[in-house]
Structure formats: structure tokens, C-alpha cells
Amino acid sequence: MSRGARRVVATLLCGAALASGAPRDAHAESKPVRVASKAFTESVLLAELVTQLERAAGVPAEHRVGLGGTRLVWNALLSGSVDVYPEYTGTLVDEILSAEAPPPRPVTRAWIGQVLARHGVAMTEPLGFNNTYAIGLKSARAGELGVKKLSDLKSHPELRFGLSSEFLSRRDGWPGLRERYGLPQTDVRGLDHDLAYRALETGSIDATDVYSTDAEIPRYGLRPLLDDLQFFQRYDAILLYRLDLGSHIGDVGLRALQRLEGRIDAAHMAAMNAHAKLDRVPEAVVASAFLREAFGVRAGTVQHSATREMLARIGEHLLLVVSSLLAAIAIAIPIGVFAARRPRTGEVVLAVVGVVQTIPTLALLVFMIPLFGIGGRPAVVALFLYSLLPIVRNTHAGLRGIPTPLLESAQALGLPARAMLRLVELPLASPLILAGIKSAAVINVGTATLGALIGAGGLGQPIFTGIRLDNLSLILQGAIPASLLALAVQGLFEIIERKVVPRGLRRAATP
């Protein structure tokens, strides 16, 4: 190793120690700031910026990547299982706040602040970009025509528009826009977004609808036009954080949050999106590059080897499945026995358990957050609830399906109810009960992937990251082990069946 190389290594090691080790020791007893993001690239990038800035300020921080939706993250923030997350003012007003108070028009930040305060939540000043609808033209074409803002389009009726069908139909999309600006264009057609970019490239259309920070804007060299009459609702990026955060991370931590205010413009955000999404640079790396450039901050990013990462995910996944399944077995079999013993009440029990099964997974996960926060616990509870039905139903069916002569023979022997259950009924029902447990386990392996949406990790993590980044190999890194796991579970149960189900019942058993 040359002297130069050695010096580089030493510097890196020091840097790593400074960035991660040392500050952590200083705050050893304090809980880390929990930063969350939603499952799309821009949100992950912003949360990553916050996480790295906090760490650089000496505040331990962790990033719960890609939680499954606005409501979910909001609830997590309210319940205190998340401290900070990036949001957009428009989303905040439309999806969360307008449900409790009619917002004034135009919405003011003061009003938002007031409503937030009632929930014990505050927001930073805007981070500097407004991620809303925009009309984009190729920069070169816009330059030729001298078009900079939307009102400039009025004097170019010959322009051809290819718009996404959603934008075409939304009242706050094309119809409203045309009315507000008095746009004269007549060649306006519906077009898939990806096709629209290609059509712009080949010159078969002149303009399309974009979000102002889309990764494709720098990639295709588009110019988003200025909304000079302020038609589109504002989606200013801000950070939401709990009001009690200051007491928990101190002024240093709060100031670190505020450093991002006004520092990210749409062009930079779009460039970061493009790097992460189109160049497939990990978000953490993109974020640290931005911090280095904008703030001169050297933030550490921890990169694990792919194998270690995968093993950790499989471990998390198994933990979710096994713990929820064990709990379900312990509860569901007694419920099934009870239901079989009391046919009337049994009907009700089965119906209730059945209803739980019909709750969409994501909705169930959202319900869990106020009760159990985010992370592994709510996921285990949700998986537990989903596992109940197959086991309860099969236990019930297995016991009810025992032929009367056998039951009466057992009763006539003088066996008390408990002994009869243990020695006769449960063994006779065991093929069905085991089949129920098996189907619960297999379903669980699949459903546990959704745990990634509430920060429970598992094999859903690479899947959802892959979906977010449109990265097939990443998706497969989660999907293939998950399918193999399901197959392994199936195989495992065939072995268990051989051990548990009495020989005399084996062939007769149909799950």
C-alpha cells in the first residue's frame, strides 16, 4: 500500500468515526431522531437529507424508509413513532387537514400552522421548491418560441399537447388551466406519460404535463413553464415534525432541520431525482453529494454488503412470520374449539374472524399505528389477525366434521370432555388444523412483504424500493427469496404433517 493510499484510508476512517461513531457516543443515552419517508424517491431523498444533516450535527438519527402512504406516516407522526417527515403543503391540506377544518382560500401557511399545532405538530419554512403540476416543453423549443411562463402559451395556438389522461380529466388540470389562461390550442390528446416523453423527443408533440421536479425534466431537457397566474395548487415541500422534538434533540437538532429551509430549488430536486431514479445511485449517496455541495457537510453513509443486507431482510421476514404465526396458533385453536362447542356463538365468532380477513392489509396497518406505532410490532399484530381465520375455521371444521358414532363411542367410554378433546377430537381434526396453519403460514410469508410499508423491514423492503426506483433486479431480490420462503414453508409443513398427523388419518386427509 502506497503512502498516499494509506493516508486516504486513514482519512476515510477518521471521517467515518466523526460522522457516525463519535457523535453517537456523545448522545449515547438519547433516543435517535426517527425520520420517515413515503414510498417515492423524492420523499426518501428529502428524509435522507434530514437524517444525514442530523447525524452531521451530532444527533443520532435513523431513517424509516418508504412507509406506505400519507395517512400512515401522518398517524405515525401523531402517535410519536416518527419524529420528522417531509410533506407537501398541498397534500397536507387536501388529504389531512381539510377533513377537520374547512381551509381558507387561498390557504395560508399561518392557517396550516394553527391546525398543525392542535396536533402537536409543527412545520418548517418551505424547503425551496414547489412540486406541482407544470406544463413542460423541450428547452430548445421553448427558447425558440420565447416561452417562459404559462401566459406566453396564449400566443402560440399551433402547439400540440400530449397530456396524461388524469391531467386531462381533473378539474384542477387541463380544463381549469385552459379556462384560467384562455389557452387557444386545439391539438390536445391523451397520452401515456412515458410515451409523452418520447413523443416530445421525436417532436410529434410540443408540450406535456409534468411534475415540476420529475426526474425526466433534466433527462429530456424540459423547461417547466412558470405558473404566473397561480392556477395550480401549491405543493411546497416542507418538513413536519413533532412540537416536542426540541426537548428531545435540543436546539442543535432543530437547527439542523431548519438548515434545509429555502435551500433546495426545483432544478436541484429534479437532478437528485434523476440521479436516484434514472441513474440508480442509492438515495443516501445522492443526498450526501448534495449536502457536500450545498453545505460543505461531510455526511457518512453506511453501506452494507448485498449478502448481509439480504440475510438481514430474510431474518426480519422470518421473525415477522414466525412470531405472528405462533401467536395465532396459540389463540386460534382454542377459539376454533370454542366455536365448535357452541354452534350459535361459533357462527358469530367465525363471522367476526372472517371480517378481519376482509380488511385490506394497508388499512389494517394504518389502524395498528395509533396502537402499536410503526415497525415490527404493528406488522406482527396485523399478520397475527390475518392468520386467525384459516386456523380458526379449520379447527372448527375439523372438530365439527368428526362422525357422530366416533364422538358417541368416545363419550360412552366415560372420557371427560377435556380428555376427549385431547385424546380423540384434536387428533382426528389434526389434518385439517395443520392445513389451516399451513395456509396461514404461506399467506403470511406473502403478506409480510407489506410490513415494509410500516417500517417493519423484511423482504418487502427491496421489493418496494425496487418499485420506487423502477429497478427490476431489486424487486427480484425481494420477490425471489419471498417465493422460495413460501415454498420452504410449504415443504416444512409436509414434514411436520408426517410427524404430527397420526398415521391412520394420513391418506384420508384432504386439506
Partner 1 sequence: MTLGSVPILQLLSVSKRFGATASLTALNLEIETARTTVLLGPSGCGKTTALRLMLGLLKPDSGRVLFRGQPLGAEELLQARTRMGYVVQDGGLFPHLSALDNVRLMARYLAWPPQKVAERVAELAHLVRLPDSTLTRLPRDISGGQKQRVALMRALMLDPELIFLDEPLGALDPLVRAELQDDLAAIFARLGKSVVLVTHDLAEASFFGHVLVLLQEGKVVQQGSIDDLVLRPAEPFVTRFVQAQRRFDAGHAAQARP
Shortest distance, position 440 Cβ to partner 1, whole Å? 23
Under DSSP, is residue 495 helix (H, G, I), strand (E, B) or coil?
helix
**What minimum distance in Å lies between the beta carbon of 506 and partner 1?**
10
- Of 130-138, 258-266, 408-416, 446-454: span binding partner 1 (CB under 8 A): 408-416
Q: Which of 194, 412, 473, 510 binds partner 1 (CB under 8 A)?
A: 412
Q: Rule CB under 8 A: choose which of 149, 345, 411, 480 binds partner 1.
A: 411
| Minimum distance of partner 1 from residue 368's CB (angstroms) | 40
Please tell me the count of residues contacting partner 1 according to CB under 8 A. 22
SS3 at position 463 = helix
- The residue range among 71-79, 314-322, 350-358, 407-415 that interacts with partner 1, by the rule CB under 8 A, is 407-415
Q: Which member of 427, 479, 486, 500 binds partner 1 (CB under 8 A)?
A: 427
CB of 334 to partner 1, least distance (A): 21
Separation in Å, CA 334 to CA 133, 346, 436, 510: 55, 12, 14, 22
Under the criterion CB under 8 A, does residue 330 sit at the interface with partner 1? Answer: no
Span interacting with partner 1, options 92-100, 227-235, 259-267, 414-422, rule CB under 8 A = 414-422
Binding flag, residue 418, partner 1 (CB under 8 A): no
Residues 509 and 399: their CA atoms lie apart, in Å, by: 13
* Sign of the dihedral through C-alpha 336, 339, 343, 347: negative
Q: Is residue 496 involved in binding partner 1 (CB under 8 A)?
A: no
| Residue 357 burial by Cβ neighbours in a 10 Å radius (0-12, 13-18, 19+) | middle
Q: How far is the CB of 454 from partner 1 (least distance, A)?
A: 43
Taking CB under 8 A as the rule, does residue 428 contact partner 1? yes
Does residue 432 belong to the site contacting partner 1 (CB under 8 A)?
Answer: no
**Of these, 306, 330, 423, 484, which contacts partner 1 (CB under 8 A)?**
423
Kindly state the DSSP code that residue 80 receives in the 8-state scheme: T
Contact 148, 226 (CB under 8 A): yes
Least distance to partner 1, CB of residue 438, Å: 19
Q: Is 409 in the site for partner 1 (CB under 8 A)?
A: yes
The one among 4, 102, 146, 416 contacting partner 1 by CB under 8 A: 416
Of 9, 330, 356, 413, the residue at the interface with partner 1 (CB under 8 A) is: 413
Which helix (H) or strand (E) segment is 466 a member of? helix 460-469
302 is a site residue for partner 1 (CB under 8 A)? no
Residue 372 near residue 383 (C-beta atoms within 8 A): no
Task: Say if residue 250 is exposed, middle or buried (CB neighbours under 10 Å; 0-12, 13-18, 19+).
Answer: middle
Please state the closest distance from residue 336 (CB atom) to partner 1, in A.
18
- Do you find a cis peptide bond into 106, omega within 30 degrees of 0? yes
Shortest Cβ 320–partner 1 spacing (Å): 34
Task: Tell me if 503 contacts partner 1 by CB under 8 A.
Answer: yes
Nearer to partner 1, 115 or 500 (CB): 500
Question: 102, 104, 146, 414: which one contacts partner 1 (CB under 8 A)?
Answer: 414
The torsion angle over the Cα atoms of residues 490, 491, 494 and 499, rounded to 10 degrees, is -120
Q: Tell me the three cell numbers of residue 440.
A: 396461514
Of the residues 45, 116, 123, 410, which one makes contact with partner 1 according to CB under 8 A: 410
The residue to which cell 409436509 is assigned = 494
Q: What sign for the dihedral angle of Cα 141, 143, 148, 154?
A: negative
**467's grid cell:** 418499485
Chain mean position to CA 327: 25
Q: Identify the CA nearest to 283 among candidates 13, 54, 65, 73.
A: 65
Q: Which span (49-57, 164-172, 227-235, 403-411) binds partner 1, by CB under 8 A?
A: 403-411
308 vs 304: CA distance, rounded Å:
7
Task: Give the largest CA-CA distance in the chain.
Answer: 98
Interface pick for partner 1 out of 15, 21, 80, 502 (rule CB under 8 A): 502
| Cα 191 to the center of its chain, rounded Å | 28
424 binds partner 1 (CB under 8 A): yes
Candidate ranges 142-150, 255-263, 412-420, 432-440; the one touching partner 1 (CB under 8 A): 412-420
CB of 369 to partner 1, least distance (A): 45
The helix/strand/coil state of 212 is coil
Q: How far is the CB of 416 from partner 1 (least distance, A)?
A: 6
Please identify, using beta-carbon distances, which residue of 221 and 427 lies nearer to partner 1. Answer: 427
d(CA 463, CA 123): 31
Matching residue, cell 418487502: 460
Stretch that binds partner 1, among 80-88, 110-118, 314-322, 420-428 (CB under 8 A): 420-428
Write the single-letter amino acid at 356. V
Nearer to partner 1, 294 or 415 (CB): 415
d(CA 342, CA 84): 50
Contact 500, 435 (CB under 8 A): no
For partner 1, the binding residues (CB under 8 A) are 405-406, 408-416, 419, 423-424, 427-428, 430, 502-505, 508
